[in-house]
Amino acid sequence: MKELYNQLFQKHKTEDNTSLTYMDSLQRDIAIGSWEVNLQTDTVIWSAMTKTIHEVEQDYQPNVKEGVNFFLEGYNRDLISLLFARAVNDQQSYDREFQLKTAKNNIKWVRIVAYPVIEDNKTKKVIGVLQDITEKNNTLNELKLKEELIRTTFEHAPNGMALVSLSGEIITLNKTFCDYLGYTTEELIGCKINKLSHPGDIDIIPANIKNLIDGVSDKFECEKRYIKKDGSYINCILSISILRNENNQPIHFISHLIDITERKVAHKEVETLLTTTKSQNEKLLNFAHIVSHNLRSHSGNLEMLLDIMKTDLPECTENEFFPLIEEAVNNLSETISNLNEVSIINSKESKDLKAVNLLKTTHTALANFKASIIATDAKINISIDSNIYVLVIPAYLDSILFNLISNSIKYKRPDATPVINISAQQTTDFIKITVSDNGLGIDLDLHKNKIFGLYKTFHKHQEARGLGLYITKNQVEAMNGKINVSSKPNEGTTFTIHLKHEAH
């Protein structure tokens, strides 16, 4: 802009048309306007570009007061008034940035450079140039805002962050990084970051760093331990990325740490608990098998002895106590058999699952109840696509359907013909099997938490043992499925079972 000032001074010496034309052209090309205030004639002259910046018509004739009033009221207007007064009275030049409001009410940033023209030690004129710097200032303000945003994000990030030189020294870091390791900012700046590594993890970084510098990768992530100031260590997820300049040359690394020490401790505790639980379950299962086997032997001996008595010593059975003893032994044998069945359910593994046709299995289950269906005049509705296959332990699926159909017939309402609906539909993850009836129903407000309990019964029936639903639930869950129930007294019950299909 210095050359333009010199041209302005030359203009005031020549004031010829050629000079004026040249100045207007120059100002238009570089988007800088000129102005002058003649203190002797009290006139103000604006160049064409100055008027364009102020968004006034080209025939606009300004004066000093109007010119000052274009500046935003307050700081900007007060400052331009003060600087102009100093130029006039103290013969001081100025170069400052201001905000003004144009004739069209647009806010602009302008840079004004002004010089007093002095003759006989008196200020004759004040001349200057005016440049529209709105775009530049807006860009700078946006850049400052982004820088502030980045700085705030960096400083207040919940995880540790550090800017690291290519040679490994920490340039700057945030508070969280310091808190992780127990150092102050001053203690860590300039420190080689690899010196903070656990000795067993030092070799993790170098090969990956070379790939970053060579452009093979933009970032890498690993699990790494760091030594704290107190000598303990933390487990971290370390993520390192690289910053490059406009020439794509690497300049800095950004290290990002996430402290996973608590997660690692919790994971280890869970692993220990799972190991302990697995061991205990295996011991309990072995204990159940041993007890079941031994009890079955003893109960079998009792049954055999009773049979011998009935055959060889019939006179010993002709009393009121023998039938009671026989019933007690039979009940004991049944209980042992049931408990043995429960104990082996969860010993089956997912590898035992097989794909079976659900419709075919359902018809097979119903075949067991032909006599009961005829006797009760039960109506059976089946809505299962013949192409639906479920991933199950076949014996478990047979048992599940048997128990649910048996309950629907067993607990029918005496005043209604039994209606049993069996349906299935395939979803993304499961085969949804529904078995519903119009029987006695269950009061879930009373029994919701007991419905699948062991030896829990909800109706008086001579065959009720409280074992079927318990076994059913365990069998469903052993096949990675789930079972739910909805029911209302005297309206019926619906069991919904979700089992995996072949795709899963």
User: 325-343 pLDDT, tens per residue?
Assistant: 887 777 777 666 656 665 5
Considering the domain 350-500, what is its CATH architecture? 2-Layer Sandwich (3.30)
pLDDT of residue 3: 53
- Under the banding of pLDDT at 50, 70 and 90, the label for residue 502 is confident
Indicate whether this model's pTM tops 0.75: no
* Between 12 and 359, the higher pLDDT residue: 359
d(CA 202, CA 371): 77
Contacts of 235 (CB under 8 A, 6+ apart): 223, 224, 225, 259, 260, 261, 263, 264
- Using left for φ > 0, alpha for ψ between -120 and 50, and beta otherwise, residue 109 falls in beta
Tell me the pairing of strands 122-132 and 160-165. unpaired
Give the separation between CA 412 and CA 420, rounded to whole angstroms.
Answer: 10
Distance CA 235, CA 260 (A): 5
Looking at residue 387, its amino acid is N
Smallest CA-to-CA distance from 218 within 254, 258, 260, 263 is with 254
pLDDT exceeding 90 applies to what percent of the chain? 39
With 0-12 / 13-18 / 19 or more C-beta atoms within 10 angstroms meaning exposed / middle / buried, residue 252 is middle
Rounded CA-CA distance 309/301 in Å is 12
- Residue that the structure tokens 């359910």 belong to: 345
Helix axis angle, 17-30 to 2-14, nearest 10°: 160
For tokens 């530049």, name the residue: 136
3-state helix, strand, coil in the chain (%, to 5): 50, 25, 25
What digits encode the pLDDT tens for the residues 2-35? 455 455 445 444 444 444 455 555 555 557 899 9
Q: By the 8 A CB rule, do 126 and 116 touch?
A: yes
SS3 at position 334? helix
Q: Mean per-residue pLDDT for 452-460?
A: 56
Residue 222, CA distances (Å) to 179, 208, 238 in order: 21, 10, 5
Tokens matching residue 337: 């058999």
What confidence score (pLDDT) does residue 466 get? 52
Q: Which residues contact 261 (CB under 8 A, 6 or more apart)?
A: 234, 235, 236
> Helices then strands (H, E): number in the chain?
16, 17
Q: Residue 461: is its pLDDT beyond 60?
A: no
Asked if residues 284 and 338 have their Cβ atoms less than 8 Å apart, the reply is no
**Confidence class for position 64, pLDDT limits 50, 70, 90:** very high
DSSP codes of every residue in 124-191? EEEEEEEEE-HHHHHHHHHHHHHHHHHHHHHHH-SSEEEEEETTSBEEEE-HHHHHHHT--HHHHTT-
Question: Which H or E element spans position 383?
Answer: strand 379-383
- Bridge partner list, 220: 240
Check if the beta carbon of residue 471 is closer than 8 Å to that of residue 395.
no
Q: What does residue 130 show for φ and ψ, rounded to 5 degrees? A: -135, 125
Per-residue model confidence (pLDDT) at position 319: 86
How far apart are the C-alpha atoms of 28 and 5, rounded to whole Å?
A: 15
Whether residue 211 has pLDDT greater than 50: yes
Given this chain, do its domains 157-259 and 350-500 carry the same CATH topology? no
Domain boundary assignment for the chain: 2-133, 157-259, 265-345, 350-500
CATH ID of 2-133, from 1.10.10.10, 3.30.450.20, 3.40.80.10, 1.10.3720.10: 3.30.450.20
Question: Would you state the pLDDT for residue 1?
Answer: 52
Q: Which two tokens stand for residue 323?
A: 């039938």
Angle (nearest 5°) at CA 386 between 385 and 390: 85
How many Å apart are CA 110 and CA 75, to the nearest integer? 14
Q: For the domain made up of 157-259, give the CATH fold.
A: Beta-Lactamase (3.30.450)
The percentage of residues in the chain with a pLDDT greater than 70, rounded to a whole number, is: 83
Cβ neighbours of residue 68 closer than 8 Å, sequence gap 6 or more? 77, 80, 81, 84
What is the C-alpha separation between 334 and 155, in angstroms, rounded? 71
Which tops the pLDDT comparison, 236 or 462? 236
pLDDT of residue 424: 93
Does the pLDDT of residue 400 top 70, yes or no? yes
The per-residue pLDDT of the chain, averaged, comes to: 83
Spatial CA neighbour of 97 closest among 63, 147, 141, 44: 141
- Pick the more confident residue, 221 or 347: 221
Alpha carbons 455 and 462: distance in angstroms, whole number = 14
Distance CA 82, CA 473 (A): 90
